[in-house]
Structure 1
Amino acid sequence: MILKFSFDYNSNNNTLLYFLQNIVSKTKLENKIIRQKDIVLYVEGNEEELISFSDELSATLPMSIFLKNNTAEVVPEIPQIDSIKVNVDNKFAFCPSCLKQIEDDNSQDFYNPFISCSVCGTTCDVKSLILLKENEEIDYNSNKQLFEKLATLINEDKKVKIKTNSGEFVFKKLSKTEKKVKLLCTNLVNISKVLVANKKEIVALASLEKPSLDLRVNEVFKMTNTLSQEYVNVRYVDDLILYLLSKELENYNIDFLIYNKDEDYDYELTYKGDSKNLDSIKIKIVEDNTIILNSNSYDKSLDTIYSKFEDKAKAHFMVFLQEYNFYNKNIINFYSSTKCNDNICLYSKDVEGFLDIVSYKLPKSIKQIFDILQKDETSNRLLNNYKEKYPDIYENALNCDISMLKDKNIYSLWKIVAVVLGFSSKIEDENIVLNKAIESLLEKGPRIDYKLKDSDKIFNKEFLIHKLFQSGMSFKLAGVDDNTLCLGYIESFAHYIAKLVDDVHSEVPLDGISLTGDIFTYDLISKLVHKSITKNFKIYYNKDFVIQK
């Protein structure tokens, strides 16, 4: 009997292969690991042996932010292909096999954070932990007693500096603070006491990669006035020292710790030897997709590809094509950024190159926009009505200096919109239109014009900037409130993307859509884009590479 295990693994790294390789090395059953579209493991044995192996695989294989799905089926034979062998340079926090050893009170490694593990490949020559107070070493009888004491100290509001695999940090109990803080969740079961997190986000926090996410503070916890920030960066314990501490903190109902690098402390927990220097990955979950915001764990050859293009939009697109090996596909890429020039670009297998669909320009001044509106009878009448009803806003906009805006992107145009429509008196560092849209309580806003100049060509289309302002002024004159109007700008941006996809697809049949650039890390924007694009089109994000470099 042969079982075929298939793993939908959305990464080009070898981590999953490495774990499978180490797990099957412990069995005498015939097996083979191959990488095709999916990663596939074949194992041959009788029914009892395969059930036992399946149970062991399920218990030992760690969750990963890149593992989307896995299936098992009976097949007639194992293909005659060489089994793959890999090595990895990545260092891991811990795996289920590690936890099984340190939580077994009959094991010689009970509460030992410095174990060696044959599954995740970690080795360690550190012998013991050192607890210090004012550089004086404190004795303890066992690791269990040590972690019990640490938990007691933290419960008593003591600050403890701890050497971890991610660096040295000062940890303290979550308490009222006006500062912007980062949180370590020590008990994911109770994460909803403080933060709003869905199941996928909780699973991601507990995954092998131990990423951090920005999560919103829940409404009930806000009422305690403990945290002053709307969103908090949070991660789960990424170190066996922290994991063992978390088990003892449960006795005090402590589920979160504040941590940072630069702060005075009362006690220090350290050890002799180097830490692993784990990569601190930051991610975001968008419509079931894992978007990488910060990471050093991708294949560095992608940096070489990225560096070949001065245009960041093209650089990101080329990396995306490489990650998926989509050189024989037709892909449209929307690159929209808060800090670089936007671009909408088509890669076609037929021309084996890029076709710019839309790029953006910035007006030299708001007066230039008003001058364009004055050339048309209808828009001139609108402008005069706007000037009459909102004379202060009009004069302020006319005299506003927008020269500090250098990036030719939608984000910059929204900043100008904020001034023209009176949401702000000057060009702000933050994006008022986007912020107000996020604050809007409605589900829909008015339809704002994101128009392109009529052309028989599908490429190098001209974006009609003045239409973006004309429609907004019209709705403001009609009495639409600011937040709803701003929602209209964001929602209509999503509709604009969807229409472009349909228009290009009618000329060049598309195999997929890629979204790059940090605009798509905003929940509101990404959700509206996914909602607007018809379900027939597959939407892709980078695999391992960051969405905005």
Structure 2
Amino acid sequence: MVLKFIFELESNNGVIEKILLRVADRLNVRIGLSRDLKNLYAFIDGNEEDIENFSRELSHELPLSIYLKSLNAEVVEEFKDDLNREFPEINLPPCPKCLSEVKDPENENYYNPFHHCEVCGYRLSEKLTVKNEKWKEKFVDLADKLKSEGKIYIQTMNGKFEVSTNLEDAEQIVAVDLAAVATYFMSFEGDAKALGSIEKPLVNLKTNLNFKKEFGLSNPAYFVKLPDCMVLELLCEEIKSDIKLLGLKKTEKSDDFSFEVPNKDEIPVAVVTDTKNHDILIAKGERSLLPKFEKYLGKDLIGYNAKYIASSNENKTVIYKTDEEKESNVNLPFAGYFGVMNQWDLENKVTMGFAFYKEDENKIMMNSPKFGLVEYIDFEFKFEDFNEIFATIKVMNETGEKLVENFKNKAPELFENAIKASLDTKKKGIAYLWGLIGIVLGFADNVDDAYEKLLVYANSAMAKKGPRIDYKMKDKNLDPLWAIRTAMSFKLAGVDNYLLSFGVLESFAEFLSNTYETVDKESPLNGAVIVGDLFEGEFLNKIYTNIKKNFPTFTPKALPMNGAIEAFGSAVILSKS
């Protein structure tokens, strides 16, 4: 009898595969692995008892994963085993098996913060993989100090942190469990899946009334995670009866618990979308994602982008991060677009690519087997100062002239702030435009800070719908003045900063999705590709959800929205030359 497990799984980092192999080996059951673009298949060959035992053991060890969409099983006649069993070595939060072992008083690894296995853990020096220490007492002492003094300084597997019961200035919040998240934050089904996954990403969650009452803080949102290493896991185990949330801030101190760990991976930041299945996307961060194996592109091909390298040799391409930074060796938007297309086998399909970068070009492109790559819309605009912007708005039409005069007379402080603001920045395209809007709304006196503040307001807004900001074309380029002037109008009308900022992002997401739909009606497309570091937070949610509602939508596969994907795309482009 052969039972075929079907895992709808985007990632090929080996986490699920290694758990399957471990369980099969322990039970002495024959197993075969295979996969295609969408699914991982596990073939279990044995009698009914063998398969029942395997299924039961697997259910105990199989973790949630943001990349595991579904799991089904069926009886088949064919046994297949053609998957290369070489997997990358990644840093990964604890798996269910290791978590159960460190909390079992009879286990040799009871309360050992350095315990890990072939599936999970962080790359540590051998001297740290010790056993039979008095770890329980150590974590009791840490918990007691935290309760009495309100803060401790510790090394975790992801860096050194000040851990505090004071959440006001926290950069991250660690919740002891999902129940604590539900108590203090506005979290939903997709948020719980992301937080509880083995990848343990940060998720931006809005605070609820319970949070505001208990902690006396008005902060609208925080980046929240569950314990993502054994150090935090065991600390939370000791405090969970008394303390439900901990604030983390990066520090150089680790006076209360110190050790050396070479991990420099950034913690992934997840965006839980409003799609029907609450698809989870990684905006940034590479922990558990890199190194990554992709298909072989050709001998000695190397693609670069910043600190990311994609090296093709032997039978695969390895994407990894280094300490040395290099410029991309091809055009960044093209690299991002081709990287995603290659991952999803879209190069012979007709697709539209949205490649948007904060400090690089912003482009809407199309690719088809017949015409190749075509640049469709650019987003290139620069201004010397707001004197130029206001003067240009005034000559657009009579309404524009009246708007500028009203803004000057009714919001003189905002007008003067804009006139004096510095427009010197590396920001380009839409990030530059949103920085300009942030300035005219009074968020800051420079593009960079105004852009960041606008994002904070938008991502913290308690809104389902924002005011409509105009994004209009002028030939093959976006005319940025329409967006600026409508933002000015809503500001004069008294729309609050949260709702207005939300509308700025939401309206542009609608502009992009409408652009896709318009082209698709004239000439059917096979899907949309979204890539670039502009796509994060609520903007990524909105654009992905809007297009995904009716059309296939593709983002970097098991990679963040930018960085590594452009390195891989660079190698893809070089392979065609």
Contact 1:182 1:233 in 2 (8 A): yes
> Shift of residue 343 of structure 1?
1.8
2:294 aligned with 1:279: no
Distance 1:313 1:226, change over 3 A: farther
2:548 aligned with 1:547: no
Match of 1:537 among 539, 544, 551: 551
C-alpha separation between the residues in 1 aligned to 2:556 and 2:487? 34
Amino acid in the other structure paired with 2:145: L
C-alpha separation between the residues in 2 aligned to 1:248 and 1:472? 50
CA shift digits 1:27-66 (9 cap, x unpaired): 3332200121211101122223212211111111222222
Say which SS state the counterpart of residue 50 (structure 2) adopts: helix
Distance 1:490 1:53, change over 3 A: same
Deviates more, 1:25-34 or 1:200-209: 200-209
Question: Which residue in 2 is equivalent to 1:340?
Answer: 360
Superposed, which structure 2 residues align to 1:277-356 within 5 Å? Answer: 277=263, 279-287=265-273, 288-295=279-286, 297-299=289-291, 303-304=308-309, 307-309=327-329, 311-356=331-376
2:535 aligned with 1:520: yes
C-alpha separation between the residues in 1 aligned to 2:18 and 2:244? 33
C-alpha separation between the residues in 1 aligned to 2:466 and 2:154? 49
C-alpha separation between the residues in 1 aligned to 2:231 and 2:490? 58
Match of 1:256 among 245, 260, 263: 245
Match of 1:386 among 386, 398, 403: 403
Amino acid in the other structure paired with 1:544: A
Amino acid in the other structure paired with 1:90: I
Consecutive unaligned residues of structure 1, counting only runs of 5 or more, are 131-141, 455-460
Match of 1:237 among 214, 227, 232: 227
Contact 1:330 1:508 in 2 (8 A): no
C-alpha separation between the residues in 1 aligned to 2:192 and 2:34? 30
C-alpha separation between the residues in 2 aligned to 1:425 and 1:276? 38
C-alpha separation between the residues in 1 aligned to 2:249 and 2:457? 31
> Shift of residue 84 of structure 1?
3.2
Distance 1:108 1:446, change over 3 A: closer
> Shift of residue 312 of structure 1?
3.2
Match of 1:221 among 211, 223, 233: 211
Say which SS state the counterpart of residue 430 (structure 1) adopts: helix
Amino acid in the other structure paired with 2:16: L
2:464 aligned with 1:449: no
Of structures 1 and 2, the larger Rg is shown by 1
> Shift of residue 278 of structure 1?
7.1
Amino acid in the other structure paired with 2:2: I
C-alpha separation between the residues in 1 aligned to 2:6 and 2:329? 37
Q: Percent of aligned pairs with the same residue?
A: 27
> Shift of residue 501 of structure 1?
0.3
Question: Which residue in 2 is equivalent to 1:133?
Answer: none
C-alpha separation between the residues in 2 aligned to 1:69 and 1:490? 32
Distance 1:452 1:30, change over 3 A: same
Consecutive unaligned residues of structure 2, counting only runs of 5 or more, are 274-278, 293-301, 311-325, 564-577
Question: Which residue in 1 is equivalent to 2:237?
Answer: 247
C-alpha separation between the residues in 2 aligned to 1:419 and 1:153? 45
C-alpha separation between the residues in 2 aligned to 1:331 and 1:439? 33
Amino acid in the other structure paired with 1:127: V
Question: Which residue in 1 is equivalent to 2:314?
Answer: none
TM-score by length of 1: 0.81
Say which SS state the counterpart of residue 559 (structure 2) adopts: coil
C-alpha separation between the residues in 1 aligned to 2:394 and 2:405? 15
Amino acid in the other structure paired with 1:386: L
Distance 1:329 1:449, change over 3 A: same
Distance 1:222 1:338, change over 3 A: farther
Deviates more, 1:112-121 or 1:310-319: 112-121
2:199 aligned with 1:209: yes
Superposed, which structure 2 residues align to 1:53-452 within 5 Å? Answer: 53-79=54-80, 81-115=81-115, 117=117, 120=120, 126-127=129-130, 142-157=134-149, 159-172=151-164, 174-175=165-166, 178-225=168-215, 229-250=219-240, 252-262=241-251, 268-270=256-258, 275=261, 277=263, 279-287=265-273, 288-295=279-286, 297-299=289-291, 303-304=308-309, 307-309=327-329, 311-369=331-389, 379-392=396-409, 396=416, 399-400=419-420, 403-417=423-437, 423=442, 426-427=445-446, 429-431=449-451, 443-452=464-473
Amino acid in the other structure paired with 1:408: K
2:26 aligned with 1:26: yes
> Shift of residue 159 of structure 1?
4.6
C-alpha separation between the residues in 2 aligned to 1:281 and 1:519? 18
Distance 1:26 1:366, change over 3 A: same
Contact 2:23 2:54 in 1 (8 A): no
C-alpha separation between the residues in 2 aligned to 1:289 and 1:68? 10
Contact 2:109 2:132 in 1 (8 A): no
Say which SS state the counterpart of residue 282 (structure 2) adopts: strand
Say which SS state the counterpart of residue 59 (structure 1) adopts: helix
Amino acid in the other structure paired with 1:277: N
C-alpha separation between the residues in 2 aligned to 1:501 and 1:54? 44
C-alpha separation between the residues in 1 aligned to 2:68 and 2:264? 20
C-alpha separation between the residues in 2 aligned to 1:90 and 1:47? 35
Contact 1:192 1:218 in 2 (8 A): no
C-alpha separation between the residues in 1 aligned to 2:162 and 2:173? 12
Deviates more, 1:481-490 or 1:83-92: 481-490
Distance 1:109 1:40, change over 3 A: same
Contact 2:284 2:562 in 1 (8 A): yes
> Shift of residue 100 of structure 1?
3.0
TM-score by length of 2: 0.77
Distance 1:180 1:247, change over 3 A: closer
2:40 aligned with 1:39: yes
Amino acid in the other structure paired with 2:256: E
